[in-house]
Structure 1
Amino acid sequence: MSYLHVLNGDATLTLFRQSKVPGDIVVCREMMSVGKVKYTKDPSTFFASRAKHLGFHFGIDEQTYYTNVVQELEKLQHSGSYDEVILWFEYDLFCQINMLFVLYYLKSTVKILPRISIIDLPHHPDVKDFEALLEQRVQLQPADLQLAEDAWDAYCLNSPQALETIRKLPPGNLKHLPEAIHAHLKRFPSVEDGLNVIEKYFLQKLLMGKYRWFDLYTLFWNDMKIYGYGDFQLDILIKRMAAVGVIQEEAQMLSITSLGREVLSKEENYLDYVPLQHRWVGGVRLAKSPWRWDEATDSLTRIDQE
């Protein structure tokens, strides 16, 4: 049997190589849960749009993106020559959205798909026995592959309605997908104060006192593991919040401002201060979106826009 293993990022690469698991490796170095994703059936068009967006908004060099990310993913085009493709992805949003993309890319570029299996990977760095995990892999069925395709398409659309419908469907062997989609939808601005769930979390913690950024991140990593964010993704959020003026940093300590307190108490709305023109949640451009998260109903709601 010949295997092609797909890992989510380089974090487990060294340990995986040291294991006795046979096969070749492709590393997915994307972060599809952050920033704009374009709805298209053409991977080259998708990557061109993605590279432009990441370069403009996050300072990721386009050539570096193509060299480190795209060229590595293009190895998946040869997966038809393997007996089995095995996906090693965790349960969090970061991993699950990347996994959906990998399945989309496989279907878009490989004429005859080999057997595709997934590993229910423990949260890094808790992975110790790759060989045992390999024996517990689950083969994806046609219904699973169709659900993954539908979920990826829905994630890229300019409206989240389809995705909210999908999260309520039986997940089959994609058992972590509903919770990941739920976490994604909670990143839409709140109907009450304009904060998404992560922004609100940071403000609520800072309301209790000042924190060094790493200590604040550590609390987030312990309390909200479902997002799977690293330093880079959290830095983006903190810088945005500081630019808006709801938090501030002084002597390496983060604290909430008076505006931040007013937003938390619903005296002010975060969206009155934050520019949304280039803010995306999946395929949804927030500046043009009427969709808000309603914590009371645990669902999205449409608001009237002026």
Structure 2
Amino acid sequence: MEGSILHITNGDVTTNYLKELKFSGEFITWREMLCEGKTTSDVGSEDFWKNRFEFFKTTYKVSKQKFIDYTVKEYRNLCNKKNQKEIVLWFEHDLFCQINMLALISWLKRYRKGYHISLVCSGKVGNSKKMFSISELNAKQVNSHFKNRIELTQDDIEYADYIWQLYCSDSPLRLETVYKFNPTSPFQYLVSAIEAHLQRFPSIENGLNGIENTILKISNNEKITSKKQLISMVTKDKKVYGFGDMQYEHNIDTLDQLFSSFNPVKLSKKGKEVLENQINFYGQIRNDNSYLGGSKKYSFLYQNETKKLLQITS
């Protein structure tokens, strides 16, 4: 049967690698980064894409044509693929991938009911502490992952959809309790990804989140000659997020006034005071249009000691 398997991958690198390895079937590349910006639970709807374009336009200056060509056209291709016997999802351990995976499963639940859906998720290999991306696996390892792919039950699909709904809700408070309580879940990397997500809300100590504090810490502790080198070091330190250079550069730019120089990289006096929790930067960095999923980023504070969120009531 022609195209009996539809592979939906986490990015072009994976798609091209699987094609190189002569995997049979058809391919769709899921080109989104739903871990950033406002999301609504109705994946694929007009409102959903409107929100997503607004985010890319304002945050990353992406043109409407580029957004359509790169993301929406591939989504339309997915909508037209209805004849495959099995849909195989190829995703990775990090937050970037895990959130995209949840959204896609939510869409499949709604529009591909009754289809045979399975999951390949890369991360740990054997006893290695290193977390691997799909493209870092050799041909034998990729084939082994594929052979041992997890068939998602209806309960698995419902669970992924539920976590997605919570991610898109206007409060992350339910998400911080519910995601831990499914020990039989096949989504083995979801717990660490959601924990990383919650740490993206500003800390109660200095108003910066986990990523922003790491940027300051590395800048203060290491001898770094350029912004490019700083991005590289933060990427290495925060692999759980799976972010690219563009995302970390945006993070660094929002902290611009805490640096006295980027060539070499040096914190300003205020930057050092914020890092040492002597100054709370919440008031200066707060942006009411900044969202993490469905929640306003600056409506919640993260307590590092208790690893809990507090809602700010006005």
TM-score by length of 1: 0.91
Structure-2 residue corresponding to 1:176:
189
- Superposed CA deviations along residues 133-163 of structure 1, whole A, max 9, x for unmatched, are 2101010111110111111111111100121
The Cα shift of 1:68 comes to 1.2
The Cα shift of 1:175 comes to 1.3
The Cα shift of 1:265 comes to 1.7
The Cα shift of 1:41 comes to 6.3
The Cα shift of 1:279 comes to 1.3
The Cα shift of 1:116 comes to 0.7
Contact kept in structure 2, 1:79 and 1:85, CA below 8 Å: no
Structure-2 residue corresponding to 1:119:
120
Q: Distance in 1 between matches of 2:260 and 2:14?
A: 35
Name the SS of the counterpart of 1:267 in structure 2.
Answer: coil
Paired AA for residue 85 in structure 1: I
Paired AA for residue 10 in structure 1: D
- Superposed CA deviations along residues 12-32 of structure 1, whole A, max 9, x for unmatched, are 232211112111000011011
Name the SS of the counterpart of 2:289 in structure 1.
Answer: coil
Q: Does 1:60 align with 2:62?
A: yes
Structure-1 residue corresponding to 2:129:
none
Q: Distance in 1 between matches of 2:200 and 2:10?
A: 22
Q: Does 1:264 align with 2:275?
A: yes
Structure-2 residue corresponding to 1:145:
157
The Cα shift of 1:42 comes to 6.1
Q: Distance in 2 between matches of 1:275 and 1:210?
A: 29
Contact kept in structure 1, 2:220 and 2:267, CA below 8 Å: yes
- Superposed CA deviations along residues 61-115 of structure 1, whole A, max 9, x for unmatched, are 12211221112122322444111111110000000001111112222333x3411
Contact kept in structure 1, 2:39 and 2:293, CA below 8 Å: yes
Name the SS of the counterpart of 1:12 in structure 2.
Answer: helix
Structure-2 residue corresponding to 1:105:
107
- Superposed CA deviations along residues 210-267 of structure 1, whole A, max 9, x for unmatched, are 422232223223222100011011111011111xx112434x3222111111111222
Name the SS of the counterpart of 2:240 in structure 1.
Answer: helix
Contact kept in structure 2, 1:21 and 1:131, CA below 8 Å: no
Q: Does 1:254 align with 2:255?
A: no
Paired AA for residue 20 in structure 1: K
Q: Percent identity?
A: 30
Matches within 5 A, 1:71-220: 71-110=73-112, 112-122=113-123, 123-124=132-133, 125-129=135-139, 130-170=142-182, 172-211=185-224, 212-220=226-234
- Superposed CA deviations along residues 263-301 of structure 1, whole A, max 9, x for unmatched, are 1122211112114122111211234x1x21111012212
Q: Distance in 2 between matches of 1:298 and 1:52?
A: 32
Name whichever of 272-281 and 254-263 sits farther off.
272-281
Compared with structure 1, are the counterparts of its residues 209 and 224 closer, same or farther at alpha carbon in structure 2 (3 Å cutoff)?
Answer: closer
Name the SS of the counterpart of 1:273 in structure 2.
Answer: helix
Paired AA for residue 175 in structure 2: L
Name whichever of 19-28 and 164-173 sits farther off.
164-173
CA RMSD, Structure 1 to Structure 2 (Å): 1.8
Q: Distance in 2 between matches of 1:38 and 1:57?
A: 18
Contact kept in structure 2, 1:86 and 1:119, CA below 8 Å: yes
Compared with structure 1, are the counterparts of its residues 70 and 166 closer, same or farther at alpha carbon in structure 2 (3 Å cutoff)?
Answer: farther
Structure-2 residue corresponding to 1:49:
51
Paired residues, number: 299
Q: Distance in 2 between matches of 1:264 and 1:273?
A: 15
Contact kept in structure 1, 2:207 and 2:281, CA below 8 Å: yes
- Superposed CA deviations along residues 196-215 of structure 1, whole A, max 9, x for unmatched, are 00000111111224422232
TM-score by length of 2: 0.89
The Cα shift of 1:173 comes to 0.8
